[in-house]
A and B are shown apart, each in its own frame.
Chain A
Amino acid sequence: MMFLDLARKNAWRKPMRTVLLIVCIAVAFLIYGLTASFLAGTQGTSAASDDILGVMSASGRTEPLPIAYMSRLAADPDIAAVGYMTRLRGFVDIDRNVVAVSAADPDLLMTVNGKGLGLTPELVKAIGEGRDRVLVGRALANAQGWRVGQRVAVTAFDTRKEDGGRDWRFEIAGIFEGENAATDTYFMIARYDYVNTARARAKDTVDAFIVRPRDGVPSGELAARIDALFANSAAPTRTQSEKQFLEAFLRQYADIGLIVNLVVGAAFVTLLMIVVNTMVFAVRERTFEIGVLKTLGFSRLGIMTLILGETLFVFAVGGSLGLVLAKLATMISGPELGLVFSLSVLAKGLAIIAALGLVTSALPAFNAMRTPIINALRAR
């Protein structure tokens, strides 16, 4: 038997109470795991780059910019590559089945952010073989059950065609995987020339330019210079990193990070109170035994370590269970929910387990440590 065995046996002396405590902790860490995974993977913000810049209209992201800006951007010596895209939102079959289409020049997109999106020369070649061809992201393809070669029709919400219709027909030329699991791949890439030619309005405009700065060029400074370049033009720009853009986009609806932190915070504060209360009572019930241990020669530090170990054991079991469940949930839910149980989520979770274990055991451990042996032995 070791010190840890003693702590473990103490924890299990009332199995029902310990199981309920572990379930309680597991649920709190499941909530943490899911919400943190949601935050980490919210529509790809975790994978979004701080280096890739998006140049949009300062009047709002729905306001287009003239494609003529392209040449002025490309002339900047600090810009390594520039591309453009226009966004077409619509639905497939039923109006709740919303999809997004980014119409871009595939070659330019490959140069600017091909690595991040997981584009390959084969994919770019495949989309180039027909004007109505598209590349579909893996998450979207899986969610819709689409295959290469299949034809799909997207009914646009706003973007009408010259013939007045809103149905855009595409042929799937390939599927891009994204750089990693956190990359947003819940959209498709169409050819800009096809969309631009066929649409009824806003021809020769784009929703955004995508800029990759040269190595060593601070993206913040470049963004400011780009905005200054178009400050006095008819359509001033607002340049942000891809990450900033996505976060700002999400913040239009709500500060998701704040909401998630509040939910997790509330769960943990409740958990803290439950566990502290339970542990205080559990240790108080054993005051006499603590007196016996002290009589046998266990020091105050030894008693504190014992209670610390007991609480940490309960937290380790419950917290690990919660994190494992969260990981399983993110795997089962599939990529369309955008849940990414990253290493940082796991590391933060483990740190919280340790911190909460220490905080919750502090009061009962301190009480047990301080109780004089004489008083403890009278507590039977």
Chain B
Amino acid sequence: MKFISPEQIVIYFINFVFIFFLVVALKISYLMIKKFDFSKSTSFQYSLEKRNVLVSTIVSFFIFLKVPLLFYFLFYLDSLAPSIPGAMCAVGVLNSTPYGAYLIIVKVAVLFMLVWWFYINKFDLNTYGFKYTKLKYKFLILISFAIFLEFLLEINLFNNISPEKIVSCCGSVFGKDVKYFSSFLFNLNDNLSLLITVVTFLLLAIFFKTKNYVFYGLASLIFLIVAVYSLIDFFSTYIYELPTHRCPFCILQKDYGYIGYVIYFLLLTGTFYGSSLLVLKNILDNTTKISWARNSFFMIFCYLLIVGFYVVKYYMVNGVWLT
């Protein structure tokens, strides 16, 4: 292991704590899947029901810690940027190794899954006979492996950051040359990505009106991906007011009024609620579905308003479109 800075050591320590709790949770999951039987009234069954409390506390603890930790991680990578030649923000650091792009995706996925688990648990406790117990513990095993994977990727990322190798900054990563991050990008034309985003949003609106929640969830998952693409390809250039600056991270910085935090909050929570309608379709009751769909649609709409506002503002001020 290579240690670069104190922040990294703290991140490792926290990961060790996570792993400790994951081992506890995995052991309980195994017992739950093998032994849980609501019809029995043994003291062992009773103790299993008690342990559910422990696991749900652990998961809430994870959620409360993972959110600030994600921002801390990005902050930290940002602070590393000056010591890596060529890197100007977190993207350069992430892109300096093959693991960075996967790590960010896994981190967001883990966060989504943890919150899903939290809601499954909440609805499970309200059912008679805890119908979803086995399902949710199988899901928890999946989540634990995702967190292990995240830790491994993190170690690999830190070990491969090298202060000698020259990397590219965000402007070129999301520009033309293909390396690591950009290998995820289809070479979308600017206007095409905008068109797809608008079409997906219209689909969302139609499904929302017709209350077709399964398709709404599917569409919001697609929207998450498409929105990130269009943010990189189209909207970010208007926020930076620079046609060559395509970066999903720089909007988090002070120069742009920290607007990125608002944008990502709206986008992630909006698509989270939306996609929950698909993932938790058998678990959610109808009233929750309606309110979540409303929340989700509202947030996605606000997201589009904000990013659209920058485009319109640019046109009002300068009188031309960026191409």
**Is the A/B pair a real complex?**
no
List the interface of chain B (C-beta within 8 A of A): none
